[in-house]
Structure 1
Amino acid sequence: MQPIEQELKSCLEEADRYRLLAEQSTDMISRHTPTSDWTFIDVNPAIERLLGYTPDEIIGTPGYDLFHPDDADNLKKRAESVRYRRGMYTNVYRFQHRDGHYIWLETTSRTIRNDDGHPMEIICVSRDVTERELAQQATRRLARVVEASSDLILFCNHRTLQLTYMNESAYRTFGAERENLAVFYLDQLFPKAVLHELVEPALQHAALYGTWYGSIPLYPAGNPGRIAEIREIIAHRNRAENMRVEYYSIIARDITLKRQAEEKSKRQQLEMAHMSRLLSVGEMATELAHEVNQPLATIINYCNGTFRRLDEGQITEIEQVTRAMELISTQAKRASEIIKRMRRFVRHTEFQRIRFPINETCEEVTRFLNQEATDHNIRFEFELDPQNPEIEADRLQIEQVLLNLIRNAIEAYSGSDISPRPVRISTRIEGQRLLVTVADQGPGISDEQMQSLFEPFSTSKENGLGMGLSISHTIIESHCGRLWAESDGQSGTRFHFQLPLRGMHD
């Protein structure tokens, strides 16, 4: 065989190998005219799997016509989806399938030129990247949502506890700027006690169970006055490394405005409660004056009697004077206790959650109403839980609720000839909550009145403002409790309120 023939045979064999490789490739390999219409000159069989066309159907078709309208001029515009390196362009775009829908292709193309530098054809290698592109689009959409979220979203390295990402809300709450990048660590954001007692156990819980939910306070040092709280921690695992935790997502919320609104509401509630107590004392002025007048009148009688006996010489020993002084002192203390009780009830105080026994509080309130009960022929009856349950609450506000309910029970007998007139106060533990009931046997409350019973300014009293039950309802709800009434409209009314037992409130 001549050398020329042998060389020709080798070239043909090499060409066959390249064609075989092209035909067996899962990537679409195509040749196009170097014109603007990008007409198909040749293509391997992979086009049928990618685009649904056979090679014979697509050859001679302008490729430009199959581009998605938004992607047709990517190369001309040097869009973000186009990359250039060493004479080759890589373009990501949408191309029309034979069925009419679009798929995402990633094409690397190169222009073949003759010896004079004129373009002869364009060689392209294309692959279907639809799944990858849709996943990236979803990731980009998620990133936009995360960045625009009003919640603080932080990514935290599970070993170093460095914050590797913060969204715009986090930067704003921390008083930092993206332009002046600062490195944040969790131990910089929390006092040591909070870090060890709350944050680290939350991270460990998320590492074990995947997520943690709760509330951890966060006071950004770089932005005094702001208040946030961590509400959720998610542990993300690396599936390629034995499912080890790779990083944490920490979701927090700026609650500054919420806290300010709560504080404002609390102040308004305290003002309303104080005004209600003053009104209650004003309504009871006659009874209170009478109750104070009794020990004062007794003191005057003891003094006058002692003076008279001294003048008449009936007192000859110091023990007789001492006895008179003891009786006077007892009545003075009684008057003093009445005044102290009244002053304590009407004083203006901030909200104070303390631990106290509810049974004693019920008895204390009835002592405050003793004169009013006597004037209306009321008999107090107690059914108090023998365990003497304790609650954590603002004692003055709970006393105010009891006062309002017991006075309503007393007034329920007004205008009726019912006798006897009991007002029963009972306490009972129900699971992790305390139930307090104030019941009377008056004529009851009608269905129509029941509908608006706890609304402001709703009252059946001639001179009442209708604020007592409304304020009581607000007070009990602010203590994570519930207040309601039961009545058949004929044979009495029962007011109930429930409160968490000591240590059981949220």
Structure 2
Amino acid sequence: MDSLEPASNLLEYNEARYRILAEQSGVMITLHRPGDWAYTAVNPAVEQLTGYRADELLGLPAYELFHPEDAWAMQHKLIPAIKKHGTRTFRYRSRNRQGLYRWVESTHRSIRDEQSGELKEIIAVTREVQQEVEAEQALQRLAAVVEASADLVLLCDEQLQVLDLNRAARQALERPETDSESGERFSLRDYLSTESVQKIRTIALQVARQKGRWQGAIRLNLPEGKDGVWQLEQLIATNTEPVYGLYSLIIRDRSEEHAVQQALQDKQQQLAHSERLMSLGEMASGLAHEINQPLASLLNYARGGLRKLKQKEDLAPQQLSQLLTAMEKQAERAAAIVQQLRSMVKKTPHRPEIIELGQSLREAVNFVEQELEQQMVDIRWQEPNGKALVMADKVQLQQVWVNLLINALEAMAQASERRGSAKSGREIKISIRESLIPETQSSDWQVEICDQGAGISVDRMTQIFEPYYSSKSSGLGLGLSISRSIIESLGGGIDVDSDGKSYSCVKVRLAACREVQER
């Protein structure tokens, strides 16, 4: 039968084991005298952590290596707490041999006499936490910046449940401070339209998961009674543990920019309206003739009918029907001209709608038909097989075409006067063609209005789009400037090409629109 090992041998064996553990440990293990907290024993790791040898530290009060601010807290708060409660863990700045202060974390435990309870010594286990503290401080600084930001910053999950938000977000969305403190959640869906939620779920989240970040513009619905324009502009995926699957949302207040854009749009519409009135004034004689034609025909039909009635001639039903039908057509023609004039003169709000370019251009050509006849200028069309659809304001787009057609006619009239050539056989070419954009896999429609005028010199080419620039003695010189503003507000562009002698071509680009509901 095996006998038990003597107790003294077992104690020596355990002490040897503990000594090996202490000496091989990578953390600093020290013993301290209760009165002055002087080092009474240290393990080899102390040199690696502080740069001091063991013999240099023995007998030295530990708080002499503390930062002055931390030494005071150690003497007046921590030591009494350790004596009272037995164990305490705290962080402080300790000076190494090079004189640099590094953050460390120590767990102190009091050792008392089992019989009397007297405090005999304190054991401390210390490790360096400099990198942890620096990371925490950086995180705190970042959190302070986020909290002070005027942007709305939210932390959400994939279901758009809000887990945390900064002060600006709480104020804008009218959420109480207790939300984050109590852990109570709410959904960002409450502030989004169904379409916007779908866009975030199917596009923004997927892009953020794949690329780390999504950027765009999705408008929020603010609480009732709150004014402003708030847009979700960035969604950032968190792809690291332990917050994988969470997203930071950045929402910005665009109220001021929206107000400025609205004011600019209002000014543009006012200028466009003034320019339309000027154009109509310049075309007054032609427009009067245009209206007089159907009115004169209508009057002739009416007089013819009255004459037959006075002469007591019988009108067969078929003849009467033909007479009334002819009168109706002329009346409708006059009404259409008046309606077109009213649309050009009337101030209307900006109303984007799907427009067919061919129809819009033909209506503009009809508007200047009298000028075309007077100058004996024909229109040569080149159109695509299908419909060329764009999203634009009908009146403003038609104003662009009228401006360009009037400019073409005036250029051709000036060229005829200079050359002394015959007016017949001249034409304005209007073409509509589609151009593909490989980068975005989308397409534009390009409208070209080309004339056979005197051309535009290189010097004038740099000025023609400037406000109030004009080569004519009359007019405001706003036609091309307003036309460019209108086209650019639609996301398009306008350019001019000319040989400077006998040819000019204005090229207008507009984004193609394919979203048409079949009726």
Task: State the TM-score, normalizing by the size of structure 1.
Answer: 0.81
Which residue identity does 1:487 align to in structure 2? S
Secondary structure at the aligned position of 1:270 is classed as helix
Could you tell me which residue of structure 2 aligns to residue 225 of structure 1? Answer: 227
Shift of 1:199: 4.4
Which residue identity does 2:356 align to in structure 1? P
Shift of 1:48: 2.2
Give per-residue Cα distances to partners, 1:471-491, cap 9 Å, x unaligned: 222211221211222234333
Moved more, 131-140 or 19-28: 19-28
Could you tell me which residue of structure 1 aligns to residue 285 of structure 2? Answer: 286
Alignment pair present for 1:428 and 2:433: yes
Q: 1:285-364 to 2 correspondence within 5 Å?
A: 285-301=284-300, 303=302, 317-318=315-316, 327-364=326-363
Residues 109, 124 of structure 1: 8 Å contact kept? yes
Which residue identity does 2:162 align to in structure 1? L
Separation of aligned partners in 1, 2:149 and 2:383: 52
Could you tell me which residue of structure 2 aligns to residue 205 of structure 1? Answer: 206
Secondary structure at the aligned position of 2:293 is classed as helix
Give per-residue Cα distances to partners, 1:415-439, cap 9 Å, x unaligned: 3325554322111011211001111
Which residue identity does 2:434 align to in structure 1? I
Secondary structure at the aligned position of 1:415 is classed as helix
Q: 2:468 aligns with which of 446, 457, 461?
A: 457
1:482–1:70: structure 2 CA closer, same or farther, 3 Å change rule? farther
1:74–1:453: structure 2 CA closer, same or farther, 3 Å change rule? farther
1:192–1:304: structure 2 CA closer, same or farther, 3 Å change rule? closer
Q: Which runs of 5+ in 2 are unaligned?
A: 1-5, 437-442
Which residue identity does 2:26 align to in structure 1? T
Which residue identity does 1:124 align to in structure 2? A
Shift of 1:374: 2.7
Query: How many positions carry a matched residue from both structures?
Result: 491
Could you tell me which residue of structure 2 aligns to residue 127 of structure 1? Answer: 127
Which residue identity does 2:251 align to in structure 1? A
Residues 372, 378 of structure 2: 8 Å contact kept? yes
Residues 88, 110 of structure 1: 8 Å contact kept? yes
Separation of aligned partners in 2, 1:207 and 1:285: 59
Moved more, 210-219 or 272-281: 210-219
Could you tell me which residue of structure 1 aligns to residue 152 of structure 2? Answer: 152
Secondary structure at the aligned position of 2:414 is classed as coil
Could you tell me which residue of structure 2 aligns to residue 415 of structure 1? Answer: 414
Shift of 1:446: 2.9
Q: Which runs of 5+ in 1 are unaligned?
A: 1-5
Shift of 1:245: 5.3
Shift of 1:369: 0.5
Alignment pair present for 1:494 and 2:496: no
Which residue identity does 1:423 align to in structure 2? I
Give per-residue Cα distances to partners, 1:338-397, cap 9 Å, x unaligned: 112211222222222222321121111011011122333433222222323222222222
Separation of aligned partners in 1, 2:209 and 2:261: 35
Separation of aligned partners in 1, 2:35 and 2:52: 22
Which residue identity does 1:424 align to in structure 2? K
1:409–1:193: structure 2 CA closer, same or farther, 3 Å change rule? closer
Could you tell me which residue of structure 1 aligns to residue 23 of structure 2? Answer: 23
1:88–1:281: structure 2 CA closer, same or farther, 3 Å change rule? same
Secondary structure at the aligned position of 1:464 is classed as coil
Which residue identity does 1:268 align to in structure 2? K
Could you tell me which residue of structure 1 aligns to residue 137 of structure 2? Answer: 137
Give per-residue Cα distances to partners, 1:42-97, cap 9 Å, x unaligned: 43210222233332344566755644466554436869xx9998244433233333
Q: 1:157-306 to 2 correspondence within 5 Å?
A: 157-158=157-158, 162-179=161-178, 183-190=185-192, 195=197, 197-202=198-203, 205=206, 209=210, 211=212, 213=214, 214-221=216-223, 224-236=226-238, 239=241, 246-301=245-300, 303=302
Which residue identity does 2:467 align to in structure 1? P
Secondary structure at the aligned position of 1:496 is classed as strand
Which residue identity does 2:147 align to in structure 1? E
Which residue identity does 2:461 align to in structure 1? M
Could you tell me which residue of structure 1 aligns to residue 3 of structure 2? Answer: none
Secondary structure at the aligned position of 1:413 is classed as helix
Separation of aligned partners in 2, 1:50 and 1:380: 91
1:326–1:118: structure 2 CA closer, same or farther, 3 Å change rule? closer
1:374–1:222: structure 2 CA closer, same or farther, 3 Å change rule? closer
Separation of aligned partners in 2, 1:503 and 1:70: 71
Which residue identity does 2:206 align to in structure 1? H
Secondary structure at the aligned position of 1:355 is classed as strand
Which residue identity does 2:232 align to in structure 1? I
Could you tell me which residue of structure 2 aligns to residue 96 of structure 1? Answer: 95
Which residue identity does 2:431 align to in structure 1? S
1:446–1:129: structure 2 CA closer, same or farther, 3 Å change rule? same
Separation of aligned partners in 1, 2:393 and 2:256: 24
Secondary structure at the aligned position of 1:456 is classed as coil
Separation of aligned partners in 1, 2:369 and 2:321: 30
Task: State the TM-score, normalizing by the size of structure 2.
Answer: 0.79
Moved more, 452-461 or 367-376: 452-461
1:268–1:503: structure 2 CA closer, same or farther, 3 Å change rule? farther
Could you tell me which residue of structure 1 aligns to residue 457 of structure 2? Answer: 446
Secondary structure at the aligned position of 1:90 is classed as strand
Q: 1:476-487 to 2 correspondence within 5 Å?
A: 476-487=487-498
Give per-residue Cα distances to partners, 1:288-329, cap 9 Å, x unaligned: 112222333444455556666777x59665576766555544
Shift of 1:501: 1.0
Secondary structure at the aligned position of 1:461 is classed as coil
Could you tell me which residue of structure 2 aligns to residue 3 of structure 1? Answer: none
1:390–1:20: structure 2 CA closer, same or farther, 3 Å change rule? closer
